[in-house]
Structure 1
Amino acid sequence: MRTLSLLAAAWLLAVPALAAPSRLADQLGRADAAFAQSDWAQYRAVYAELAAAHPDNGLYAYRLGRAERSLGNRAAARAAFERAVQLGTQQARAELHLAALAAEAGDGAAAVRWFEAARAHHLVNAEQALLGEPALAALAQQPAWRERLLPRLAEGADRPARWAADLDFLARRLPETHWRLEAQLPRERLQAGLRALKADVAKLADWQVHLRLQTLVREAGSGHTSLVPPMQGAGAFHRLPLQFAAFADGWHVQATAPEHARWLGARLLKVGEATPEQALARLTPLLQHDSETGLLRVGQRLMALTEYLAFVGLSEARDQATLLLQRPGAAPERVTLRGQALDMPALQQLVMALEAPAGWLAARQGDAPLHLSEPEQPFLLQALDGGRVYAQLRRVSDGPSETLAAFAQRLQQALQGASGLVLDLRHNSGGNGELLEPLLQALIRSPQLSERGRLHVLTSGRTFSAAALLLGDLERQFPGLIVVGEASGAGPHHVGEDNLILLPNTGTLVLAASRVFVRSFSDDRRRSVAPHLQVAERWADYLQGRDVLLEAARADGQ
């Protein structure tokens, strides 16, 4: 344990006031408390003082604008938001507020100019933001401004006209939303693809238009850029009542709806007439991914969408598929299964379930290993034999009963006196990267993790987005860390941040990656982080509840 020098100790004793919070910290704390209570008068009082004292701080100006607008002080709000725009702070959000203020004042031209400026500065979920501001939503209904704001056609417009209007809107919105789209999908290629699709709309069903558009949008090359499958009415996509998983020794049915339990654990031999590997190759242009392992992990779930299979010729009907399955100890059987209409809960389960969707049956026969236990919990923490700690982070988000910051504090306490940490990110597909700092600081404050081999991180192709950013942070802060498993689903330098574009006439939802994230050097072009110890799970391991990744990490740390 280090000791203070006499001089340093004397200096600390002489200035005990340094231990007290600063006046600024007190002000910001009062403002946060006021915001939580929607006490806009107190919030304004704090930020009026701070903005006056620090006129070059754009964040203070923006927050003052929020307070003034909430209190109905439009002129003061406008001045504060204009100052924030001038200083480049919260620029798109400030421009949205200015657009709404102009619309409320009856100045449609100014409102449209401000809103178009906000969209040009990557306003997040711009169409939803537009519709969430009553004055702007009303302005979007006016014929004079409809085309520029949200080009909705009149009721009764025919289907080709609705698709044509939406494809024209996307031709404008995708380049201004996506991060440097031109580098991957040149404007000429985008416009040519959209023109060709418009010409073919009349002879295609909506689901085919959707997937043609998906293949074009996917050329942007980011795992965050795709179309959301339709989930309403007759146009809803369908999913098979089986969930597939790819293991080192083949593809299997990992989970089923209860009425199809006879196929639980069966080996998947064919999808239509293609092997699973061939089917994945044909589906690749439709599947959002950054890395090869990410493609595999996305593909094993989305191969259950029957429209995807029909689009690439693996099924003859959009709502069913024919599979060649082999149950244990039996001959292969060809079975045709009908898909179930997709809705939001089903889509979330399809993408996010660790092992099996809620209410489905899992093939695993042994007890659940740590990484599959308590699937409803966002975080897991447990002591391991030998003095190590196991922590699993399943999402970069706050849980319903514990924030990520609180979990980080709990982890830091658990690491006191521990010999090392196994951090499991294999099921973590991302979330809000702004929440990562407390976790990173908790690990930095655990000095034993700086020793080589004291920090093991478990990864897979599902380790994506904010989880991949965390992996990049850990590479920088802990040069001795050991990555175990398979390559991550994204690299430490990637384009992300889903930004939703709503096509107003068909209801199509397009996700566009709108920011670049760098957790490494700017010339680091890795599409994934490769493991130091490559470990692949086999089907028998899964059935027995054996965790070969954790076993490898523990063996390496002895």
Structure 2
Amino acid sequence: MKTLMITVLLIGAIHLSGVSQTKVAQMSTKDWEQDLTYLQKKIKRQFKTFIPGLKEKFDSGIEALKRKVPELKPYEISCEIMRLLALLKDGHTELNVGQKMVGFHRLPLSLYFFENELYIVAAHQKFAELIGGKITHIGKYTTREAFEKLKQNMSHDNPVEFVYAGPGYLVLTELLRYLGISDHTQKVTVQIERNGQTISRTFDGLDYNTYREGPWTNYFRQYQTQTPLYLSTQGAYYWHRYLAEKKTMYLNWVRINNQKRKPSIKRYIGKLFKEIDALRPNKLVIDLRLNNGGNYNLSRPLISAIRARKWLNQPGKIWVITGRRTFSAASMACVFLKNETKATVVGEPGRTHPNKSDNNEVMRLPNTDFLIEYTTRIKKHLPKHPDWDRIPVDVAIPPRFDDYKQGKDAALAYILDK
């Protein structure tokens, strides 16, 4: 669902998708009712969950929304759909109101949570001086209060989703108005702490294209700070680098899908392990921090290659880094690595529940063209741990703003120092 060719954290967790012009402004009551009925039937027939009663609750909510459509504004209907899908308690089932078809406006900022504080990590060039500032208030509320209001509308498997996706939603002006955080649909005032000063700035919301085109700048460019290794390569689903001084092979895996016009994952892993056999590294690092899923079956060649090398598959040699973006198939790859190899997992837990969705599909509503994801198959990948809502890490190393400012990767540094 993320189509901007900008890596998360280089400009932040931008929550966007879509390619067509929005049709929302031309929607009639009948059009909305048709879309809601289409969604209702799809969920009733195809959505899967282990939790009883959720589909009935969603169905009742849709019926109530149909009755209210004539009195609601388009942005309110969109937010109501988002809220109702969140009732299904499934991180793979959502309407992302940041997609272009919804037509929401947004602040020219990219935000990221560091230790429960919300920072500006990128911005349109004209607001570059605000980068590195901490947002303390959004609209009428403190950042913490605004965040709590937002959570009620977010689909999620576990609370990690709030921290990951929340910053991308907190820049959407119509959503802020719907939540009562702001009094305007296309204008928001925020307070920012920067270098000991408090700045109050009112932003006009930008349409999708204006927001996307920028021009953008980020913290590393603005302050000429070295970009961490894991953010240094954009566009590739999988890439690696040998860190000779530390005798460590570093694999960055961003998407568990075969990339077009690139070697398949199976071929790539074969080539990688030829290098590993020749170099005999002391460690293999598998970085899944930016990986938001794909097809977990395609991770099997990596697991098999590690297991086939007893000299490598030893405690202290296989390391996995996960983070708040790690999701879906990437989380399942982490499960395989934990269960079938001697891997140690460090970083932040991902945002996937290991005993919920096993596959999801995307529906397109016929009139608005809204894209909605929904779970169509469920599986308990860790039945021995029914109470786990996430895959735990062995060593917790959350991102810290002090490290970010210096371009320091604390998770990788921990591994290299071991």
Please name the residue that 2:135 is paired with: 268
**What is the rounded CA distance, in whole Å, between the counterparts of 1:249 and 1:168 in structure 2?**
39
**Closer/same/farther in 2, CA of residues 485 and 243 from structure 1, 3 Å limit:** same
Please name the residue that 1:465 is paired with: 328
Matches within 5 A, 1:347-362: 359-362=215-218
**Closer/same/farther in 2, CA of residues 318 and 402 from structure 1, 3 Å limit:** farther
From 377, 381, 394, the equivalent of 1:515 is 377
**What is the rounded CA distance, in whole Å, between the counterparts of 1:241 and 1:463 in structure 2?**
25
Matches within 5 A, 1:250-265: 250-265=117-132
Cα displacement (A) at 1:462: 0.8
CA deviations on 1:148-172 (whole Å, 9 max, x unpaired) are xxxxxxxxx9822222232223222
Cα displacement (A) at 1:280: 1.8
Matches within 5 A, 1:404-553: 404-416=265-277, 417-478=280-341, 480-521=342-383, 524-553=386-415
**Closer/same/farther in 2, CA of residues 174 and 274 from structure 1, 3 Å limit:** same
Does residue 395 (structure 1) correspond to residue 395 (structure 2)? The answer is: no
Does residue 229 (structure 1) correspond to residue 229 (structure 2)? The answer is: no
Higher relative contact order (Cα pairs below 8 Å, separated by 6+ residues): 2
Matches within 5 A, 1:11-410: 159-180=28-49, 183=52, 185-187=54-56, 189-229=57-97, 236-248=103-115, 250-329=117-196, 331-342=197-208, 346=212, 359-364=215-220, 365=223, 366-384=225-243, 385-400=245-260, 401-410=262-271
Cα displacement (A) at 1:535: 1.0
Gaps of 5+ in 1: 1-156, 347-356
**What is the rounded CA distance, in whole Å, between the counterparts of 2:393 and 2:266 in structure 1?**
27
Cα displacement (A) at 1:248: 2.0
Cα displacement (A) at 1:426: 0.9
Letter in 1 for 2:268: F
Letter in 2 for 1:293: V
Gaps of 5+ in 2: 1-25
CA deviations on 1:89-111 (whole Å, 9 max, x unpaired) are xxxxxxxxxxxxxxxxxxxxxxx
**What is the rounded CA distance, in whole Å, between the counterparts of 1:221 and 1:499 in structure 2?**
16
**Closer/same/farther in 2, CA of residues 250 and 506 from structure 1, 3 Å limit:** closer
Percent identity at matched positions? 25
Letter in 1 for 2:227: A
Which structure carries more strand by proportion?
A: 2
**Closer/same/farther in 2, CA of residues 394 and 324 from structure 1, 3 Å limit:** same
Which structure carries more helix by proportion?
A: 1
Query: Is 1:239–1:306's contact at 8 Å kept on the other side of the alignment?
Result: yes
Q: Give RMSD over aligned pairs.
A: 2.4
Please name the residue that 1:35 is paired with: none
Cα displacement (A) at 1:449: 3.8
**Closer/same/farther in 2, CA of residues 457 and 182 from structure 1, 3 Å limit:** closer
**Closer/same/farther in 2, CA of residues 184 and 271 from structure 1, 3 Å limit:** farther
Query: Is 1:163–1:505's contact at 8 Å kept on the other side of the alignment?
Result: yes
Cα displacement (A) at 1:249: 6.5
Letter in 2 for 1:553: I
Cα displacement (A) at 1:387: 2.0
Query: Is 2:92–2:375's contact at 8 Å kept on the other side of the alignment?
Result: yes
Query: Is 1:473–1:519's contact at 8 Å kept on the other side of the alignment?
Result: no
Query: Is 1:471–1:492's contact at 8 Å kept on the other side of the alignment?
Result: no
**What is the rounded CA distance, in whole Å, between the counterparts of 1:201 and 1:474 in structure 2?**
48
Query: Is 2:58–2:88's contact at 8 Å kept on the other side of the alignment?
Result: no
**What is the rounded CA distance, in whole Å, between the counterparts of 2:304 and 2:209 in structure 1?**
39
CA deviations on 1:308-350 (whole Å, 9 max, x unpaired) are 2111111112222211012224x2111111222226994xxxx
Query: How many positions carry a matched residue from both structures?
Result: 386
Cα displacement (A) at 1:184: 5.4
Query: Is 1:249–1:539's contact at 8 Å kept on the other side of the alignment?
Result: no
Cα displacement (A) at 1:393: 0.5
Query: How high is the TM-score relative to the length of structure 1?
Result: 0.65
When Rg is computed on C-alpha atoms for both structures, the one with the higher figure is 1
